[in-house]
């Protein structure tokens, strides 16, 4: 069974750093893209970026380029989303999802349960 299990909820202060994780299982982790999607409270889905564990090819949405870092550790079949300096506006639910590459497009067939990040002073 394909599963993506994300790390638990986080409460942080503005300016702090954070790294959340997404552990894949039940499939060949290195052969599928892993994407990250933000959902701010009461809002819609926003694609942040995506990484291919096989060669660490990483692509970011222009809206998130330079704001976050996506990485992967194949030895522990885990992908990461990282912030160096959090802002209150980073408060959101963050989902990882397994991506299928179709042309220049990705769709996501399995999703993690989400990690709620709250940034407040």
Partner 1 sequence: QSALTQPASVSGSPGQSITISCTGTSGDVGGYNFVSWYQQHPGKAPKLMIYDVSNRPSGVSPRFSGSKSGNTASLTISGLQAEDEADYYCSSYTSSSTPVGFGGGTKLTVL
Query: If binding is defined by CB under 8 A, does position 32 make contact with partner 1?
Result: no
Query: If binding is defined by CB under 8 A, does position 89 make contact with partner 1?
Result: no
Q: Which residues contact 77 (CB under 8 A, 6 or more apart)?
A: 23, 24, 25, 29, 53
Query: If binding is defined by CB under 8 A, does position 12 make contact with partner 1?
Result: no
State in angstroms the smallest separation of the CB of 102 from partner 1. 6
Residue nearer to partner 1 on the CB measure, 83 or 95: 95
Q: In this structure, which long-range contacts are made by residues 9-12, counting pairs with CB atoms below 8 Å and at least 24 apart in sequence? A: 9/115, 9/116, 9/117, 9/118, 10/115, 10/116, 10/117, 10/118, 11/118, 11/119, 11/120, 12/86, 12/117, 12/118, 12/119
Among the listed residues 62, 66, 75, 121, the single contact to partner 1 using CB under 8 A: 62
State in angstroms the smallest separation of the CB of 85 from partner 1. 24
For binding to partner 1 (CB under 8 A), which residues are involved? 35, 37, 44-47, 50, 59, 61-63, 95, 97, 100, 102-114
């Amino acid at each position: 069974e394909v599963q993506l299990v994300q790390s638990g909820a986080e409460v942080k202060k503005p300016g702090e750093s954070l790294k959340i994780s997404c552990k894949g299982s039940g499939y060949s982790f290195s052969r599928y893209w892993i994407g990250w999607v933000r959902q701010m409270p009461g809002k819609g889905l926003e694609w942040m970026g995506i990484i291919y564990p096989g060669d660490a090819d990483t692509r970011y949405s222009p809206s998130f380029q330079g704001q976050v870092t996506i990485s992967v550790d194949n030895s522990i079949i885990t992908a990461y989303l990282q912030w160096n300096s959090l802002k209150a506006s980073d408060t959101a639910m963050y989902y990882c999802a397994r991506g299928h590459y179709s042309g220049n497009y990705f769709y996501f067939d399995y999703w993690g349960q989400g990690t709620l990040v709250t940034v407040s002073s």
